[in-house]
Amino acid sequence: MSFANKKTLVVVTGASRGIGRAAAAALAAEVSGGGSRLVLLGRDADKLKEAEAEVKGANGEASVSSHSVEFADAAGAEKSFREILSEAKGPFEAAVCVHNAGTLGRQGAKAGDLSAEEVGEYLAVNLVSVVSLNAAFLKETEGVENRCELMYIHL
Ligand SMILES: NC(=O)c1ccc[n+]([C@@H]2O[C@H](COP(=O)([O-])OP(=O)(O)OC[C@H]3O[C@@H](n4cnc5c(N)ncnc54)[C@H](OP(=O)(O)O)[C@@H]3O)[C@@H](O)[C@H]2O)c1
């Protein structure tokens, strides 16, 4: 998929550090269309600002924003995704959504020690918020010819 000379929307979750941050900077360097927008999602506001600066360094032309969203709060995250993406200023000619944020949960926890709340938060991060973000992303990019979703599956 080429983003060259296409107004592109890039959404990356877990962009505050690690693989997501590197992916956001790498994708930013590929995007060259006027009006392109990169949306970085994570939790740690300070780290997100650092990531935002890094991504701006990789592409001085694109508009870059970062947003602190707690994916474990499924309802709050869904509302945030809709609000954030409705401000994305489309229509776009290409779009990509990188679902990278995730958790392996409490490693080594015994089944008998798990609470419904903990399991609910685990599913909210790894499943429900992924679906919510997809819904907001698909709505915002309806009609985009080169729409492409990249999904990391966390095992
Ligand atoms: N299946 C495998 O074998 C395997 C191996 C390696 C990595 N992975 C997965 O690949 C992804 C990236 O790995 P990584 O090493 O780069 O991870 P990392 O350094 O731990 O970064 C995780 C990112 O996800 C965000 N995140 C985590 N929980 C969140 C929540 N509840 N709400 C919102 N954002 C949340 C973090 O945000 P903040 O830092 O801002 O909180 C951070 O930006 C992770 O999902 C990891 O589980 C899987």
Whether 125 is in the pocket of ligand 1, judged by its Cβ within 6 Å, is yes
Amino acid sitting at position 24:
A
State in Å: Cα 101 to ligand 1 middle: 4
User: 32: left (phi > 0), else alpha (psi -120 to 50), else beta?
Assistant: alpha
Domain 8-152 coded CATH 3.40.50.800: no
Domain ranges of the chain: 8-152
CA of 76 to the centre of ligand 1 (A): 19
The preferred substitution site among 81, 152, 153 for testing ligand 1, maximizing ligand atoms within 8 Å of CB, is 152
Residue 1: is its pLDDT beyond 70?
no
How many helices (H) does the chain have, and how many strands (E)?
Answer: 5, 5
Residues with Cβ within 8 Å of residue 46, at least 6 apart in sequence: none
Beta-carbon count within 10 A of 143 CB: 9
Asked whether the predicted pLDDT for residue 17 surpasses 80, the reply is: yes
pLDDT at 154: 53
Cα 16 to ligand 1 centre (Å): 9
Q: What's the Cα-to-Cα distance from 56 to each of 3, 24, 30, rounded to whole Å?
A: 17, 10, 12
Tens of pLDDT, residues 104-150:
999 999 999 999 999 999 999 999 999 999 999 999 998 888 887 76
The pTM of the full predicted model, rounded to 2 decimals, is 0.94
- Closest-CA residue to 29 (of 20, 17, 38, 16): 38
Residue 155 has pLDDT above 60, yes or no: no
pLDDT range class, residue 52, cuts 50, 70, 90: very high
pLDDT digits (tens, 9 = 90+) for 53-112: 999 999 999 999 999 999 999 999 999 999 999 999 889 999 999 999 999 999 999 999
